[in-house]
Amino acid sequence: MIFVNSMSDLFHKGVPDEYRSRVFDTMESADWHTYQILTKRSSILRRYVNKRYSPQNKTPEHIWLGVSVEDKQALSRVRHLQGVNATVRFLSIEPLLAPIGEFELSGIHWVIVGGESGPGVRPMDPSWVREIRDQCIAAEVPFFFKQWGGFRPKSGGRILDGCEWNGYPAAVSAY
């Protein structure tokens, strides 16, 4: 499992499509790995991927595409991701900074939720996490609770309502 550009964004507006294409060419040829790509630039992701892949010939199943969502104002990223010609789509709802409310999970294959960490950490309300978890359960979308957050990422642990939530996408071939 390779988290592509873990400290940057492949879909930043300053990254040329030629470079993105070289990255995708490499990922396609190294299909023994699973690649996770996460972005906040969901409209650029949608434009690029839908130009490269058709609805009938989506991204290979070993290339997972996701968007970051931190609050309700970022929910447009979910809608953009749902319109991407991808085989596996995921949401990284971290750091969760405010309640998200109800949102559409169709076409989403995995949801990760976590709190903020580091100096000046902003607390995460358990009800915000439960609301997302319950929506995932209702929609049969795997839910992974990563952390409560704190000064250090593992400071608060990762137990929610007495258990760990380790949901993970089912066999990708099912998608």
CA distances from 153 to 95, 137, 146 (A): 11, 25, 9
Pair 96, 115: CB distance under 8 Å: yes
In the block, tokens 């989506």 appear at: 58
**Tokens at 64, concatenated:** 């997972």
Region 168-174: what's the mean pLDDT?
Answer: 65
**Tokens at 37, concatenated:** 């790509």
Check whether 172 has a pLDDT greater than 60. no
Residue 163 has a pLDDT of 95
Residue 91 has a pLDDT of 98
Nearest to 1 by CA among 34, 38, 28, 31: 34
Check whether 175 has a pLDDT greater than 90. no
Residue 155 has a pLDDT of 78
Residue 157 has a pLDDT of 85
Region 6-18: what's the mean pLDDT?
Answer: 96
Check whether 174 has a pLDDT greater than 60. no
β-pair type (163-164, 159-160): antiparallel
Pair 89, 77: CB distance under 8 Å: no
Q: Is the dihedral of CA 135, 137, 138, 140 positive or negative?
A: positive
Region 27-41: what's the mean pLDDT?
Answer: 97
Write the pLDDT tens digit of every residue in 46-102.
Answer: 999 999 999 999 999 999 999 999 999 999 999 999 999 999 999 999 999 999 999
How many domains does the chain contain in total?
A: 1
Residue 171 has a pLDDT of 54
Region 129-155: what's the mean pLDDT?
Answer: 92
Q: For residue 67, what are the domain limits?
A: 2-174
CA distances from 42 to 12, 37, 139, 144, 175 (A): 10, 11, 22, 21, 21
Angstrom distance (rounded) from CA 142 to CA 135:
10
**Tokens at 107, concatenated:** 């076409």
